[in-house]
């Protein structure tokens, strides 16, 4: 059976995303510092296997392996001219893993620089860069887009507008990364939940969310409550998504190790879900085992 239009599907209730790509690549022997995005070209089977593992665990959608596949991030690996090839190939890999029934979201991460005057980016050029990436993802057959791990409101605004300029009717998800700040939460650039939600929702996205960060599961549950309240206060019909990390990493031999078990992670997502978050996945440190536990607990 062919899949329902994704915009419709996410309104039908619980929708599961995948877990981390980066930590799964490391678990398969890819060294830190590698250009993960170029693995779509160099080692497509590894990327395909990770997608398949997530679908088998119960994910309804996977994110393409293109978190750093904008021209600025790729240029740090001298691959700035490979945006089209990498993104189109990545979405074809995702499509192949998803088959006809499951979904693929084109993943767009930050540029890694700041807009002027803080950094060197010009708004028009940044918008062109994100549009270039989104177009290449679209060419490979994605069902929608997810803009994630953003910390600056100006950059996420430009990313959303760029994606919407090429996405047609396909849904757009957008999330920022928060950390604990006193008794509140803020992104690295000082944005609070209310400011993030009201700006992102005003741009007409289909789902607003949070992902990554360095927090305990209890803090992610609290953050979810804040998101639900912020969306409610706007009185807008927009879905919320959450991709927490597998808790706070611990440093072991200079490496970040995530120790939260699939069961504990699933228990936290149960609370996040009952707070009113219908689209759930995991970020750093979560693997197919975590998603499988979430699927078992929530479905
Ligand atoms: Zn993460």
3-state secondary structure of 242: strand
169-226, pLDDT tens digit by residue? 999 999 999 999 999 999 999 999 999 999 999 999 999 999 999 999 999 999 999 9
pLDDT at 1: 64
pLDDT at 255: 82
What residue ranges of the chain have pLDDT lower than 50?
Answer: none
pLDDT at 167: 96
pTM, entire model: 0.97
Residue 96 CA to ligand 1 centre (angstroms): 25
The span from the CA of 139 to the CA of 186, in Å, is 35
Residue 171 CA to ligand 1 centre (angstroms): 22
Residue 277 CA to ligand 1 centre (angstroms): 18
pLDDT at 254: 84
The verdict on whether omega for the bond into residue 117 sits within 30 degrees of 0, i.e. cis, is yes
pLDDT at 112: 96
55-76, pLDDT tens digit by residue? 999 999 999 999 999 999 999 9
Sequential DSSP letters for 199-237: HHHHTT-SEEEEE--S--HHHHHHHHHHHHHHHHHHT--
Residue 247 CA to ligand 1 centre (angstroms): 10
Residue 2 CA to ligand 1 centre (angstroms): 31
Residue 283 CA to ligand 1 centre (angstroms): 4
């Amino acid at each position: 059976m062919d899949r329902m239009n994704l915009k419709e599907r996410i309104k039908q209730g619980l929708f599961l995303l995948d877990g981390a790509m980066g930590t799964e690549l490391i678990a398969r022997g890819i060294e830190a510092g590698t250009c993960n995005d170029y693995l779509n070209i160099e080692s497509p089977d590894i990327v395909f296997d990770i997608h398949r593992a997530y679908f088998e665990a119960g994910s309804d959608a996977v994110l393409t392996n293109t978190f750093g596949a904008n021209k600025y991030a790729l240029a740090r690996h001298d691959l700035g001219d490979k945006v089209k090839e990498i993104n189109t190939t990545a979405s074809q890999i995702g499509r192949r893993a998803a088959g006809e029934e499951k979904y693929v979201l084109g993943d767009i991460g930050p540029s890694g620089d700041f807009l002027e005057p803080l950094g060197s980016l010009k708004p028009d050029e940044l918008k062109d860069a994100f549009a270039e990436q989104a177009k290449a993802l679209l060419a490979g057959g994605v069902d929608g887009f997810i803009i994630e791990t953003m910390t600056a409101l100006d950059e996420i605004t430009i990313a959303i507008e760029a994606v919407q300029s090429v996405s047609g009717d396909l849904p757009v998800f957008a999330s920022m990364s928060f950390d604990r700040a006193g008794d509140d939460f803020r992104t690295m650039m000082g944005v609070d939940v209310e400011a993030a939600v009201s700006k992102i929702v005003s741009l007409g996205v289909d789902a607003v969310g949070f992902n990554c960060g360095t927090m305990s599961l209890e803090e992610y549950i609290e953050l979810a409550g804040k998101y639900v309240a912020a969306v409610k206060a706007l009185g807008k019909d927009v879905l919320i998504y959450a991709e927490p990390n597998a808790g706070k990493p611990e440093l072991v031999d200079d490496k970040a190790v995530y120790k939260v078990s699939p069961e504990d992670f699933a228990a936290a997502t149960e609370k996040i879900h009952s707070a009113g978050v219908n689209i759930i996945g995991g970020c750093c440190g979560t693997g197919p085992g975590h998603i499988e536990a979430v699927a078992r607990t929530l479905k």
